[in-house]
Chains A and B, each alone.
Chain A
Amino acid sequence: MTPADFDFVAQMLKRRSGLVLSTDKLYLLESRIGPVARKHGLGGLDAVVAKLKANDEALARDVTEAMTTNESFFFRDKTPFDHFEKLMLPAMLKARAATKRLRIWCAAASTGQEPYSLAMILREKSALVKDWRVEIIGTDLSNDVLSRAKAGLYTQFEVQRGLPVQLMVKYFTKEREQWKIKDDIRSMVQYRQMNLLDSYVGLGTFDIIYCRNVLIYFDEATKRGILERMAQLLPEDGYLLLGAAETVVGITNVFTPLAGAQGVSVKPAKAQPKANVA
């Protein structure tokens, strides 16, 4: 692959998904494009690039999706879910007591483990949210991962990673060698295909946004743009959750980390009062 071709693909990826592909990631491109080339009946990387230059939209979409990292697991990093249960949910139950509405957005939902983890917590706390209208919206760029999320089928390996066994037996059934999330959990989450680079109009507003392990692939301007647009969908007392290697610090001041609550960011006005999280 020529440097010019690499540049061409890198620019396409950046434009379509925000992904920054540095030249040391050529091996990644090579290993992930193989299956896409086969699917489209193309001989190799050079043939793929030629077709992309001829504006093959379906191919461009598949290449973009193939280059995203979709890894996810239940209760990933644990603390973001502990904070949901012990900090954000109680705060919201109080703050929204009049409307009894709670909306949560998982902005890079991938194969569904993150929204389903939240749904299981809510189900465990169902007495507290009785009569409430709770919505969990999961979005992702990739239709492929979203169809897996909707199916709610996981391998043995996937259900063991992070998921406490008590929750596994309670909320999953076994289907041959796979594990299927039960319908009452599955139906708590709605999935939609959505690119974080596109407009958020039509999503409505949220109380809590989980945007985890996706900004890490973007450059600073892209991160800032996404965070600032997310801020417009969150009220003053809303919460934003980022991945363990992500931060708002140095990117934007529309959010600020909540002291004592790893991974949680809030609007600046909300940051002053006591954040009494152990």
Chain B
Amino acid sequence: MGLAVKHCLVVDDSRVVRKVARKILEELKFEISEAEDGLIALTACRGAMPDAILLDWNMPNMSGIEFLRALRQEDGGDRPVVVFCTTENDISFITQAIEAGANEYIMKPFDREIIEAKFAEAGLV
């Protein structure tokens, strides 16, 4: 395992959620960038693939699930560990997310402990 700082892209249309997630992930030693919808996130990933993506479901322009499907088609788009983090908590949504290529799923409201646990299970911390 290298010592290189891992890069996490936080994709959420809520500035407050991005801020909270940033704070938690920075404490876990991630370098953070933010995107406020799927389209912006996809452009960012084309520039540089992050190691991890914390992804919201409902966003304008391009939803989380549309983004994820598109991402997995990109060159190197299979690499980021994608953790959905959303208020949608019905099994049908979660199953869709897994089928679209999500690695983990966090139901909001989240806290530091859950984020840390899920990122650890995904081998990121």
The 8 Å CB contact of A166, one of B89, B90, B98, is B98
A232 interface residue (CB < 8 Å to B): no
Task: Determine the chain A residues whose CB is within 8 A of the CB of B89 once the complex forms.
Answer: 156, 174
Report the separation of the CA atoms of residues A76 and B10 in the bound assembly, to the nearest whole angstrom: 28
Task: Determine the chain A residues whose CB is within 8 A of the CB of B114 once the complex forms.
Answer: 157, 160-161
Task: Annotate B85-125 by CB proximity to A: 1 below 8 A, 0 otherwise.
Answer: 00001110011001000101111000001100110010000
Report the separation of the CA atoms of residues A166 and B102 in the bound assembly, to the nearest whole angstrom: 10
The 8 Å CB contact of A165, one of B90, B94, B113, is B94
Given contacts A160-B114, A165-B98, A166-B98, contact A174 B104 (CB under 8 A): no
Q: How far is the CB of B84 from chain A (nearest CB, A)?
A: 8
Inter-subunit contact A174/B91 (CB<8 Å): yes
Inter-subunit contact B91/A165 (CB<8 Å): no
Inter-subunit contact B94/A168 (CB<8 Å): yes
Inter-subunit contact A162/B94 (CB<8 Å): no
A-B contacts at CB below 8 angstroms, number? 32
Report the separation of the CA atoms of residues A169 and B113 in the bound assembly, to the nearest whole angstrom: 21
Inter-subunit contact B117/A169 (CB<8 Å): no
Report the separation of the CA atoms of residues A157 and B115 in the bound assembly, to the nearest whole angstrom: 12
Q: How far is the CB of B109 from chain A (nearest CB, A)?
A: 9
Task: Determine the chain B residues whose CB is within 8 A of the CB of A156 once the complex forms.
Answer: 89, 107
Q: How far is the CB of B112 from chain A (nearest CB, A)?
A: 13
How many of chain A's residues have a CB under 8 angstroms from any CB in B? 13
Task: Determine the chain B residues whose CB is within 8 A of the CB of A174 once the complex forms.
Answer: 89-91
A225 interface residue (CB < 8 Å to B): no
Task: Determine the chain A residues whose CB is within 8 A of the CB of B121 once the complex forms.
Answer: 78, 162, 164
Task: Annotate A153-196 by CB proximity to B: 1 below 8 A, 0 otherwise.
Answer: 00011001110111011000110000000000000000000000
Residue on A with the closest CB to B107? A156
Q: How far is the CB of B125 from chain A (nearest CB, A)?
A: 13
Inter-subunit contact B117/A165 (CB<8 Å): no
Chain A residues near B (Cβ < 8 Å): 78, 156-157, 160-162, 164-166, 168-169, 173-174
Shortest 6 CB-CB distances between A and B: which pairs? A165-B105, A160-B114, A169-B94, A156-B107, A165-B104, A169-B95
30 pairs of residues in contact across A and B, judged by CB atoms under 8 Å: A78-B121, A156-B89, A156-B107, A157-B114, A160-B106, A160-B107, A160-B114, A160-B117, A160-B118, A161-B113, A161-B114, A161-B117, A162-B117, A162-B121, A164-B104, A164-B121, A165-B94, A165-B98, A165-B102, A165-B104, A166-B98, A168-B94, A168-B105, A169-B91, A169-B94, A169-B95, A169-B98, A173-B91, A174-B89, A174-B90
